[in-house]
Amino acid sequence: MLFTITDLHYAIGDKVILDGINMTMEDKDKIALVGLNGAGKSTLLKLIAKGDNPAISYRKDLQISYLPQYSDFDEALTVYAQATKMAPKAQDYEIKATLTRFGLDDPDQKISVLSGGQKKRLALSIALLKECDLLILDEPTNHLDTPMIEYLEKYLIKRNKGLLMVTHDRYFLERITNKIDEIDRGSLYEYVANYSQFLEMKAEREAQALAAQHKRKQFLKKELEWVRAGVQARSTKSKDRLQRFEKLSAISDIKENENLTMIDVASRIGKKTMILDQVSAYYGDNVLFAPFSYTFKRFDRIGILGKNGCGKSTLMNIIAKENPNYTGTVTYGDTIKIGYFKQGVEAMDMSMRVIDYIKETSDALITSDGVLTATNMCERFLFDKGMQYTAIGRLSGGERRRLYLLKVLMEGPNVLLLDEPTNDLDIETLTILEDYLDCFAGIVVTVSHDRYFLDKIVDGLFVFKDKQITYVNGGYSAAIDISDTQKEKASNYEAYKKQKQAHKTRKLTWNEKKELEGMDDLLLSLEARIKAIDEEMGSLDDFKKMDELAQKRAALEQELDEKNERYLELMEIEEGQ
């Protein structure tokens, strides 16, 4: 057992966040917390990580590593100094390798010049460097590119210690977790399940709860007739019956969760849309991407995929005509109206009220449901009248993102540019957003590393690789390789040179000699097993069986890669003797 929570209550002012929850986490549990924005997921993680709440008891000498949603760093320190300070037990090579893995190539860079995304990746690097029994991660995939997300996924699958996380990445929920804990209206419900099983079990729980409520109401209706009949509580039996009636009457009815309602706000889009003609961007003397041309179709759904820093957001700014530093031309049709949802929540006045923030854009909007006021729109986006007069600073990160999305839609665009729209949004809101985008009467262009989101939304991809943009038909595919070939080769060569120098200084041990002798047979065996799986997959129509075989093949390929690397390493040592 790592920790146990007993009857935990937590409120902010008059708002009850956690209402007497109970939870136990075992040594090798991999638990994801899910729930609506503002339900208390991040709050619960903070309380567990902090370690000073009397309702939470921990295993003796429990080591915790915590990735918060927003990190607090010393702006005067360098990246390396900050990592060393916060993970003092990590070796120098481990720190530098982990920083490089998460796109922080310059260890001497000052914290003060890092972007919000870079700071998040630094915080994740530090969290993974710390030795711990319990790893707590709050939205770990935010600001990671696809290769980093896939690396993190594999790392967390292999890790055999406790993991507790909040994530909207549904592939993480499906492939990594063995338990999902849902926070719903202050209560916590545990499901021993991955994501697809959780959806079924949650629906069953809610159906049972509604059935129990119906039975309770029927019983109360009969008991109310008995009470109104004026039966006097002269006997113990009558008193007990009255007390039971009062107790059951005091139980609150189950309130259905309000769902965000997306409104059809798109203005009509004409035949001439947007044309990119030989568009190219530079950063100083550095070419971000070579000339690229594309003519958008009226209802295009385009995803933009590439490594961090390759120019994805730059392209979005060029399409939106917010970045003049490019060559080529961007042409709009007469009816084009852009709505741009940027990666970070725009600068908000934290003291401004929610309703005033929306009224800055529009006080009324013509929709398919008629004219809706700013108040109506706020209510449809789950900001009730009480919240509308709340300062923005009191909202959660996810609620601010939802508010920002509403402001973009209040402009009535027929082209939506979405830069990392899934960051900090809860899964229910994401599902509704996906359904809305599927029916949106216009063009959608999105930068996203949410693989599930891309699979569901887009029908084409702009793939950045080797400073080129290539259009690829279809949605996200794990087979798409967006790593920079030249950069990889250079990195591999530097690692090879260092490794070769180290191998010159030692000799093979007896065990290593035996390992080298058996390596040829082992490699041939692995290759034969992969070939056999390929042949079996070629004759199958059963998707479930194919998926199982694909996972086995991926594991064998990884093992083959590792053994090949080991083989080369042993050969280098032998040649240096």
If asked whether residues 540 and 492 sit together in one domain, one would say yes
Count of CB atoms situated within 10 Å of the CB of 211: 10
Least confident of 478-487, 523-532, 540-549: 478-487
| 172 within domain boundaries | yes
CA dist 550 and 540 (Å) reads 12
Locate 498 and state its tokens: 């260092």
CATH number, domain with residue 527: 1.10.287
CA dist 152 and 158 (Å) reads 10
Q: Do the beta carbons of residue 76 and residue 118 sit within 8 Å?
A: no
Beta strand segments in 350-395, E: 364-367, 370-373
If asked whether residues 180 and 35 sit together in one domain, one would say yes
Q: What is the pTM of this model?
A: 0.66
Domain hosting 351: range is 274-473
* Banded model confidence at residue 179, pLDDT cuts 50, 70, 90: very high
User: Residue 232: what pLDDT?
Assistant: 53
* Banded model confidence at residue 568, pLDDT cuts 50, 70, 90: confident
CATH number, domain with residue 465: 3.40.50.300
| 74 within domain boundaries | no
Count of CB atoms situated within 10 Å of the CB of 399: 24
Domain end call among 180, 198, 216? 198
CA dist 359 and 351 (Å) reads 15
Domain end call among 198, 233, 256? 198
pLDDT digits (tens, 9 = 90+) for 483-518: 555 454 444 445 545 555 554 556 788 888 888 888
| 288 within domain boundaries | yes
pLDDT digits (tens, 9 = 90+) for 435-461: 888 878 899 999 988 888 888 889 899
The domain total for the chain is 3
| 256 within domain boundaries | no
Domain end call among 198, 230, 248? 198
If asked whether residues 550 and 493 sit together in one domain, one would say yes
If asked whether residues 283 and 336 sit together in one domain, one would say yes
If asked whether residues 295 and 321 sit together in one domain, one would say yes
| 240 within domain boundaries | no
CA dist 185 and 16 (Å) reads 9
Q: How far is CA 97 from the centre of its chain?
A: 24
Single-letter code of the amino acid located at 336: I
* Banded model confidence at residue 424, pLDDT cuts 50, 70, 90: confident
DSSP category for residue 300: -
| 246 within domain boundaries | no
| 210 within domain boundaries | no
Least confident of 23-32, 73-82, 286-295, 358-367: 358-367
CA angle at 270 for the pair 269 and 272, rounded to the nearest 5°: 120
If asked whether residues 410 and 462 sit together in one domain, one would say yes
Return mean pLDDT, the chain: 82
Closest CA to 282 of 318, 256, 322: 318
If asked whether residues 186 and 328 sit together in one domain, one would say no
If asked whether residues 518 and 457 sit together in one domain, one would say no
If asked whether residues 539 and 489 sit together in one domain, one would say yes
Q: Residues 217-234: what's their mean pLDDT?
A: 63
| 169 within domain boundaries | yes
If asked whether residues 405 and 328 sit together in one domain, one would say yes
User: 216 pLDDT exceeds 80?
Assistant: no
pLDDT digits (tens, 9 = 90+) for 81-120: 999 999 999 888 888 888 888 888 888 999 998 877 788 8
If asked whether residues 434 and 462 sit together in one domain, one would say yes
Q: Do the beta carbons of residue 403 and residue 359 sit within 8 Å?
A: no
Q: Residues 260-271: what's their mean pLDDT?
A: 69
pLDDT over 70 for what percent of the chain? 82
If asked whether residues 407 and 288 sit together in one domain, one would say yes
Least confident of 47-61, 262-276, 535-549: 535-549
Least confident of 20-24, 372-376, 547-551: 547-551
Closest CA to 406 of 373, 431, 451, 428: 373
Q: How many helices (H) and strands (E) does the chain have?
A: 19, 20
CA angle at 304 for the pair 32 and 437, rounded to the nearest 5°: 70
CA dist 471 and 383 (Å) reads 39
* Banded model confidence at residue 396, pLDDT cuts 50, 70, 90: confident
